[in-house]
Amino acid sequence: MRQSAVSFKTKGLTFEGVMAQPEQEISSLPGVVICHPHPLFGGNMDNNVVLAVSHALVERGFVTLRFNFRGVGNSEGEHSKGEQESQEVLAALDLMRAWPGVDSKKIGLAGYSFGSSVVLGSASLHKKVKAIALI
């Protein structure tokens, strides 16, 4: 598995993330953006469930993006109780769609705990999301 530190911006804030993909160069891979549990209870992109989902998907030929919501790790801003986090997910989806080797027509969202709530709120805002998984 290859991993790359990434950053992206939305609403004037910068967010940190990690893009993971299979070792071999393959084009037209599906992509999944993975959202972590509640930031105020220690949730971040390195949560054990988020990492396990990312690794399992990459082993099956997916590209994944996990990122820290606002105010977590090196991501800028302050937690907004889920009110603004959907904007971060939309920006993460845009990054995933533009990533080399990703089939922009095969993009999904996955969320764990708080991340599931944000995924539900985000999926309806982005017409290109083909699947969601709530954990």
Q: Give domain limits for the chain.
A: 2-134
Which residues of the chain are under the pLDDT cut of 50?
none
Q: Say which CATH topology domain 2-134 has.
A: Rossmann fold (3.40.50)
DSSP 25: -
Alpha helices per DSSP H over the chain: 48-59, 85-98, 114-123
Handedness of CA 20, 112, 81, 87 (dihedral sign): positive
Long-range contacts of 104-109 (CB under 8 A, 24+ apart): 104/128, 105/130, 106/28, 106/29, 106/30, 106/31, 106/130, 107/30, 107/31, 107/32, 107/33, 108/30, 108/31, 108/32, 108/33, 108/132, 108/133, 109/32, 109/33, 109/34, 109/35, 109/133
Q: What is the pLDDT of residue 14?
A: 98
Q: What is the pLDDT of residue 38?
A: 95
